[in-house]
Chain A
């Protein structure tokens, strides 16, 4: 609690916060998963960031208790869904009678480093693609199976399995070349003040990170930890589901998961985390 820009939050209010089991985060804690995978949770902001010098994982803003869930895979409830996805990975589906494993081998080999560079420009398709889009492309065109819905359990679990293969690697999405246009569109959305509350992503996650908004300790809204297991709803949550929730909270009409707007926003927000480690599945409250 050493950095508190608007200090005299009264001792009493603080006492209540503590009593409710929301002990302040230890901002200097270090995250090493399974005593082995070192996670960069704070680092210098990438060059394209204009207003922030240091980027921080959402993990650094959470309470000690919530932080602890992520230090060991046996304690991380998100790993149960990774196991479920491993089974699906190995199971044939669709008219072509193929599984993911048939083309990609074991996830540790076929998916190493993948999460860190998505969303990514796809030359053949002529568009920026998220992991979800790429997974469904494989399902439809190579497996001849039904695409998964963006927010279905199968899809979010699979993105968690893919993310695990990149844990500890720095996020490094490309924002130049053919991706530049989508990135600029995402940036515009990030700074647009939506809804009757007229709030942009930046109002909360750039201008006010580290401040409390009611009981919530605002983070930088980074997505290096996605998908995220939330204690609040006891499941894995996709990046786009989180975006949707945040826009809804401005009393706005949201965009849909998988919409071009959210794909662009995902690329832009991911790029704000270039340099942080891939962490997913992370644990948040």
Chain B
């Protein structure tokens, strides 16, 4: 009985590895705020990342950050966080991944939400319903691949 379970578990594990080793939110390792490895095990898609950054139901990063490159097609950029123009000149890919996954590891106490984090909240809700969360841990705000896509997009924001 025990052996059978183990075999199934290892089958699942190797199947998982085959699609690319996704790092679960609780397993992310931060080094000085940075995350070296791709969270999805795959490369990011900058075009999709641009969509995640600018779309209300997704990252909605523009609610707090202005990005000049998007000024023409995305209305209403916020002023709560710094303007993201040239952000790839200021940070490495690993640092940007860390900021998007959990900015609190880079900036202590920042207002910026953690997009790849699932526990440790006060009165967590079920999305925007105002009702109690249905699960603990919660689903992260962005999936591993969405984080990679956002990072790929941020890497295109160069000024030099």
Residues of A that sit less than 8 Å from B by CB: 4-6, 8-10, 12-13, 16-17, 20, 192-199, 203, 207-208, 211-215, 244, 247-254
Contacts and interface: CB of A to CB of B under 8 A. Distances in A.
B132 interface: yes
A17 to B, nearest CB: 7
B80 A213 contact: yes
B77 interface: yes
Given A195-B123, A198-B113, A254 B130 contact: yes
Contacts of B129: 248
A199 B64 CA distance: 13
B125 A5 contact: no
A248 B125 contact: yes
A215 B63 CA distance: 8
12 contacts: A9-B83, A12-B71, A12-B72, A196-B125, A199-B113, A211-B78, A212-B80, A214-B78, A248-B128, A249-B128, A251-B127, A252-B125
A13 B80 contact: no
Contacts of A9: 66, 77, 79, 83
A253 B113 contact: no
B138 A253 contact: no
Nearest to A19: B75
B141 A196 contact: yes
> Which of A193, A211, A253 has the largest number of chain B CB atoms within 10 A?
A253
Interface in B60-115: 60, 62-64, 66, 68, 71-72, 75-80, 82-83, 111, 113-114
B13 interface: no
A244 to B, nearest CB: 7
A253 B123 contact: yes
Interface residues on B, range: 35 or more
Interface in B128-154: 128-133, 138, 141
Interface of B: 56, 60, 62-64, 66, 68, 71-72, 75-80, 82-83, 111, 113-114, 121-133, 138, 141
A16 B138 contact: no
Contacts of A244: 130
A8 to B, nearest CB: 6
A253 B64 contact: no
A247 to B, nearest CB: 7
A213 to B, nearest CB: 5
Contact of B114 (A198, A248, A252): A198
A244 B128 CA distance: 11
A198 to B, nearest CB: 6
A199 B130 contact: no
B122 A254 contact: no
B128 to A, nearest CB: 6
Contacts of B78: 211-214
A193 B122 CA distance: 7
Contacts of A213: 63-64, 78-80
B76 A215 contact: yes
A2 to B, nearest CB: 14
A1 B56 CA distance: 25
A252 B127 CA distance: 8
Contacts of B83: 6, 8-9
The 8 closest A-B pairs by CB, nearest first: A248-B130, A12-B71, A214-B63, A215-B76, A211-B79, A254-B130, A253-B132, A197-B113
